[in-house]
Structure 1
């Protein structure tokens, strides 16, 4: 039997070549897996997922008049348009497909919401595929190391949580691993060729790098010229605004050790220790043979990149874990070998009890990953996406004509919504979809071209609101707190009073007012005399690092019919809760009743001899471990057979004679039977723990 630290079995890439069909099947499986991932993902992570990709893409695809929210970065040419152009093409294709198939507006809206998810899922699957391909270059195609890399990639909670989001960092991660797989590692490693041929290889590789960079820069420059309407170079302007004007710190500062103490643990979760150990192994053991020189040098360079990049990014005050996300595939590759060394013997020798701790640990780590992935992808911060679906459906019910086209100009009005939340707390037009939904939200424009003293005291709109909500509503809402609407705009037949319309810097009172539960005690006294009442709420998160975003997401509306529907729904939910509570109490009382009867039966059981040990089924019940119906144990230690015999007598006292012999197992002699524990006690105990009524066949003998 090999030791636990058996190295990964290494197979030369040319010795076990996969067929094209097998490679294709792996790619198709990964695409299906990530599409499932994308449609399971129902939570909010970063505003850039929408405002730096889908919102500009919406404007590119459908025009400026369709209500996309374009943030300040795009007005100052800080972002490249290449990433939004990808999703703009997806939007145009989806819109063309909806028009060709004559889909209803509601179905078209669902298609426009789903199509970017599918596109990003394919991008994520390509990243997973090339991670596996690069691992096969290092460990061999049919090796444990390459398959372990793929499994770690699929089981990583961060990958499930982030890879299918429309963040530019997710696309960068895929592009990075594809580039690493296509990188001329033989030239980078020095190779074993002669000096002249090595120079030729380096010259050819340098020409190809130069050519690809020039092509990308040319395409980027033309795309930005078309998007912005002028020639600009966003990377340079990005550096100027974020470094020269220090605007990055406006969105937060982090400690110098952020990537080490938080970034890497969030990226790797349960694979953190194997990844760190893989880095240590790779950089410490630099010796290599002639046959594995290329693989070893490749791992060393990957490990060096994984250390240098976080160090460089740590010099910047504003840090986010997604900034080092492109390093994750390389870290998965480096973590594979330590994982194989530790877990491979436990999997290979399944019948050996010596590796049971490793097997249990592996199961535990997989379960932890699954729980984290489920919680972060389905439950945590889910309400801010659900509320957009709610508003879209409300628009379809109240303001959308059934026979209208999706972007029809014949729709006279739509619902209105206002978000009293920290800026960019929800998606925008990419999830509202309908251009006739008129919505506003608190903004957080940075202090551009401000002096240092002005930056120190600057408060954006969201800060001003949370500093004093009452004063903000008086000063920044049309009509203040005195003149509030009495009915929703989509039911009003009279034109609005021009004297109550807000100025350019004021917001109109909406049909739907959206906010977090934390704000509810503040708004209730301010709007108690208004017609706003709760008409919907949903869970968002159990905790949040921003106190302003804690609690449920709540929607107040002006529509009395919607308020009545919500009250009826709440009443039915309350009745269901009461019925459940009554049923639970009944089960609890039944459990206590049966426990009392068990005690009575045991007390009336047959008398045990003075020196015969007692063994009660009740000793396994929670909180009753000291109970014994018989005399204490004698000074002599009882044998195992005596314990089991007493135990069976205790079970029989309550449940009656032994039921049908459910454990035969070839027990032909009475002595062997007495040495094997009776499972009847365990069955009864499980029924008791779960609060069931214990209506078993043998109880009629007890209660007769």
Structure 2
């Protein structure tokens, strides 16, 4: 830790009445810091164990599937989506979880069933660590800015731990969640002291964040919200240091990315450029949905911040009396302005892209909690009203019913989303995996030895998913390479020009199935190949049940197969859904096609 940072924290501690002259509190402070990290990790571990629902496919298909492929290679059953085939994704994020798989594989060896459980747990444990570090660094950043052991800093930690969106997503293996952790770390280590250069109190430096005019900011006070107090910190020395650090760190990160992608793809590739070419130039991003320009402001921040959204929005545009919060109000004030500017410019930039998702804003959560904290603290406590009083009085609370109601709402939202909403796609994988263990106990090798794949099990399609594509996890939860599965795909029209007739008329496999399920099944199982590639189990949301009966029973085109479907498993999938095709229960039907064969 730099001497300037120590000085800042010492001043902050004095301002909060926590340190007296001649008393060294470094050891107790260090112990408190470690203990806080342990508590946060325990909280996030409980969080990870409570999350049993499906949110979005990228949690698995952009992280765990390529990680599985990295460790177990071709033939492991990992599903690599079109982005990985065409080199749109960096291998660095999956490589982290591949390390977890590699450790489990080499430690547990032939203990297949035990190893399967640990392969499921490894990514969760790793992401728990990342989430805990993100929370911890957000709290430490708050202590740097608002004072060590201050009420405002503890408010930041409380908001972070009780945020239902954090509870719902932080222990999931999204790259956005890791980005949030890296962002909180970067903000903590950023040299905020550079923004504390004092000057004439009547002058303001508007060197970087100035808006000369504009319809969004009509008064001088609003314009000054994004100007720095004091003299410009951008001296020649600080500029050289920042430039040097940016070049060194950026070059290291770029080099690591290039080498990792060279190893993964087998050729020199630069995923950001490829991503830009496919999603922006070829306009393929709109294939996955478009949103209004105001989506991030009207829906993104409210979903991200939930009950503290009003305080976060207020924090973006208005500062509290920082002299009563921080021992270094100039540094804190300028840091808050910089964070506000960063949040708004990020949201503005992302708003130009047609395809928008709330999770794209997850890396902004640490900054939003920092910005909201003074307003939350002043609204619910007397901490800021009594700041500067010596000795400081006991903390007083205000508006307790509203505070309690907010906490209860957060618990209800987080609990429902994490334990009930869309839990079926996770539960069905557990059912299928345990069924495979029961039916094929001799074919559980991970990875599958070449000689282990008998002709019988090679020819068996264990499960067919007739659901919207990527509606469930894949090999990271099916685990066993010998468990052969098939699902509907939804690759975009990569080779069609934007605006062309081919692009407009294109239908992926999922769209074709839902447009005419019976016709799709007829082409899947042609009349001249009765029973070929028939599945032992068929998985679908209950809406496809009628189509399956129409195909297999009576005079349907599939009656020749002699299949009589039997519902063997089902589970409720939540109160609502963003895709009507996923409404109702998720069901597993047994076809009975392999029932006369021996269990092997």
Q: Secondary structure at the match of 2:587?
A: strand
Q: Which of 90, 95, 99 is residue 89 of structure 1 equivalent to?
A: 99
Match of 2:221 in 1: none
Q: What's the offset of the Cα at 1:562? A: 9.1
Question: Which has the higher mean CA deviation after the structures are superposed, 197-206 or 419-428?
Answer: 197-206
Match of 1:399 in 2: 440
Q: What's the offset of the Cα at 1:312? A: 1.2
CA distance in 2, matches of 1:36, 1:301: 34
Contact 2:197-2:233 within 8 A present in 1 as well: no
Match of 1:45 in 2: 55
User: Would you say 1:258 and 2:295 are equivalent positions?
Assistant: yes
Q: Which of 492, 505, 509 is residue 461 of structure 1 equivalent to?
A: 509
CA distance in 2, matches of 1:150, 1:169: 20
CA distance in 2, matches of 1:238, 1:561: 44
Q: What's the offset of the Cα at 1:402? A: 8.8
Q: Secondary structure at the match of 1:53?
A: helix
CA distance in 2, matches of 1:511, 1:366: 47
Q: What's the offset of the Cα at 1:33? A: 1.1
Contact 2:571-2:586 within 8 A present in 1 as well: yes
Match of 1:232 in 2: 269
CA distance in 1, matches of 2:545, 2:266: 45
Contact 2:195-2:330 within 8 A present in 1 as well: no
Q: Deviations over 1:429-478 (max 9, x none)?
A: 00000000000000001011203221111110000000000111111235
Match of 2:565 in 1: 532
Unaligned runs of at least 5 residues, structure 2:
1-8, 20-25, 200-229, 387-395, 554-558
Match of 1:495 in 2: none
Match of 2:466 in 1: 420
Structure (1 or 2) with the larger CA radius of gyration: 1
Contact 1:187-1:202 within 8 A present in 2 as well: no
Q: What's the offset of the Cα at 1:22? A: 1.4
Q: Deviations over 1:223-271 (max 9, x none)?
A: 0000001111110111111110000000001011101111111100001
Q: What's the offset of the Cα at 1:167? A: 0.6
TM-score (norm 2): 0.82
> Would the alpha carbon gap of residues 271 and 195 (structure 1) be closer, same or farther in structure 2, given more than 3 Å must change?
closer
Contact 2:423-2:574 within 8 A present in 1 as well: yes
Q: What's the offset of the Cα at 1:168? A: 0.6
Question: Which has the higher mean CA deviation after the structures are superposed, 153-162 or 174-183?
Answer: 174-183
CA RMSD of aligned residues (A): 2.9
CA distance in 2, matches of 1:198, 1:290: 24
Unaligned runs of at least 5 residues, structure 1:
1-9, 350-354, 485-500, 502-507, 564-704
Q: Deviations over 1:630-666 (max 9, x none)?
A: xxxxxxxxxxxxxxxxxxxxxxxxxxxxxxxxxxxxx
> Would the alpha carbon gap of residues 514 and 305 (structure 1) be closer, same or farther in structure 2, given more than 3 Å must change?
same
Alignment of 1:85-234 (within 5 A): 85-99=95-109, 103=111, 105-188=112-195, 190=197, 198-234=235-271
Q: What's the offset of the Cα at 1:87? A: 0.6
> Would the alpha carbon gap of residues 74 and 190 (structure 1) be closer, same or farther in structure 2, given more than 3 Å must change?
farther
Question: Which has the higher mean CA deviation after the structures are superposed, 216-225 or 468-477?
Answer: 468-477
Contact 2:65-2:80 within 8 A present in 1 as well: yes
Q: What's the offset of the Cα at 1:308? A: 1.4
Q: Size of the alignment, in residue pairs?
A: 523
Match of 2:579 in 1: 546
Q: Deviations over 1:409-435 (max 9, x none)?
A: 435327611000111000000000000
CA distance in 2, matches of 1:55, 1:247: 22
Q: What's the offset of the Cα at 1:479? A: 4.3
User: Would you say 1:362 and 2:403 are equivalent positions?
Assistant: yes
Match of 1:521 in 2: 546
CA distance in 2, matches of 1:196, 1:533: 72
Q: What's the offset of the Cα at 1:273? A: 0.8
Match of 2:359 in 1: 322
User: Would you say 1:442 and 2:488 are equivalent positions?
Assistant: yes
Q: What's the offset of the Cα at 1:535? A: 1.1
Match of 1:75 in 2: 85
> Would the alpha carbon gap of residues 334 and 431 (structure 1) be closer, same or farther in structure 2, given more than 3 Å must change?
same
CA distance in 2, matches of 1:169, 1:77: 19
> Would the alpha carbon gap of residues 204 and 14 (structure 1) be closer, same or farther in structure 2, given more than 3 Å must change?
farther
Match of 2:226 in 1: none
Q: What's the offset of the Cα at 1:205? A: 2.9
Q: What's the offset of the Cα at 1:197? A: 11
Q: Secondary structure at the match of 1:52?
A: helix
CA distance in 1, matches of 2:166, 2:38: 18
CA distance in 2, matches of 1:465, 1:344: 57
Match of 1:55 in 2: 65
TM-score (norm 1): 0.70
Q: What's the offset of the Cα at 1:292? A: 1.5
Q: What's the offset of the Cα at 1:186? A: 2.1
CA distance in 2, matches of 1:129, 1:290: 22
Q: Secondary structure at the match of 1:514?
A: strand
Question: Which has the higher mean CA deviation after the structures are superposed, 289-298 or 106-115?
Answer: 289-298
Q: What's the offset of the Cα at 1:348? A: 11
Q: Deviations over 1:486-544 (max 9, x none)?
A: xxxxxxxxxxxxxxx4xxxxxx2210100001222222222235232111111212221
> Would the alpha carbon gap of residues 290 and 342 (structure 1) be closer, same or farther in structure 2, given more than 3 Å must change?
closer
Q: Which of 341, 350, 369 is residue 378 of structure 2 equivalent to?
A: 341
Q: What's the offset of the Cα at 1:289? A: 10
> Would the alpha carbon gap of residues 67 and 344 (structure 1) be closer, same or farther in structure 2, given more than 3 Å must change?
same
Q: Secondary structure at the match of 2:576?
A: coil
> Would the alpha carbon gap of residues 203 and 521 (structure 1) be closer, same or farther in structure 2, given more than 3 Å must change?
same
Q: Which has the higher contact order (CA 8 A, sep 6+)?
A: 2
Q: What's the offset of the Cα at 1:400? A: 1.6
Contact 1:130-1:178 within 8 A present in 2 as well: yes
CA distance in 2, matches of 1:289, 1:377: 37
